[in-house]
Amino acid sequence: MIFDLDGVIVDSEGAWNDARRELTEQSGGTWRAEAQRAMMGMSSLEWSRYMHDELGVAMPPDEISDAVVARLERHYEEQLPLIPGAREAVLQLAEGWPLALASSANPSIISLVLERSGLGASFEATVSSEEVAQGKPAPDVYLEAARRLPADPALCAAVEDSSNGLRSAAAAGMAVVAIPNREFPPSEDALALADTVLGSIEELTPAVVARLR
């Protein structure tokens, strides 16, 4: 079992959106309504370049990434927005399957979430998109997570919420569980790639996983 982080375990897409929008506006750039959806799944290198090139943020991409992550870390230190039922689902599934995390978040964010949620011991491997050649929708981060478990990607199931995440997991050849993000819902064509669609992570039970191809 390989989990996405943002939008699956933590209700964070809004926090990412706020941090990126605030930095864009404060630095003289121009925020676009479609920007957050476009950046979902990108690695930090990719979305910081997007903010520089497409949104006009007048900072080097590495400084953009550091500034956004610092804002998000402060937010998480004050209150970690765990999605209801996520911790229980992870703990329950860890009893039956080896778990990995395949996230577009920066390594420091992944570590902070796992530490504050108490879920670090549940995951045998974690991968940030920073550590692979391409972020989602490319399959790289999921393939690397499977390699680190180690497991055959064809015998893995991925849990995702976004268009780019669903495309990434499907491209890796994995069974795909979709839990659509309510704030930034996936497109219909991406959702069609899922083997099963759930209303919430509370519905992700061992019985559901056992029925996957």
Known catalytic residues? 4, 6
Question: Residue 25 carries which side chain, given as an amino acid letter?
Answer: E
Match 């989990």 to its residue by tokens.
3
Asked if residues 195 and 176 have their Cβ atoms less than 8 Å apart, the reply is yes
Asked if residues 57 and 68 have their Cβ atoms less than 8 Å apart, the reply is no
Calpha distance 16→41 (Å, rounded): 12
Task: Report the chain's C-alpha Rg in angstroms.
Answer: 16
Asked if residues 93 and 111 have their Cβ atoms less than 8 Å apart, the reply is no
DSSP β-bridge partners for residue 4: none
Calpha distance 173→142 (Å, rounded): 9
- φ and ψ of 93, to 5 deg: -70, -30
Backbone torsion region of residue 136, taken as left when φ is above 0, otherwise alpha when ψ lies between -120 and 50, otherwise beta = beta
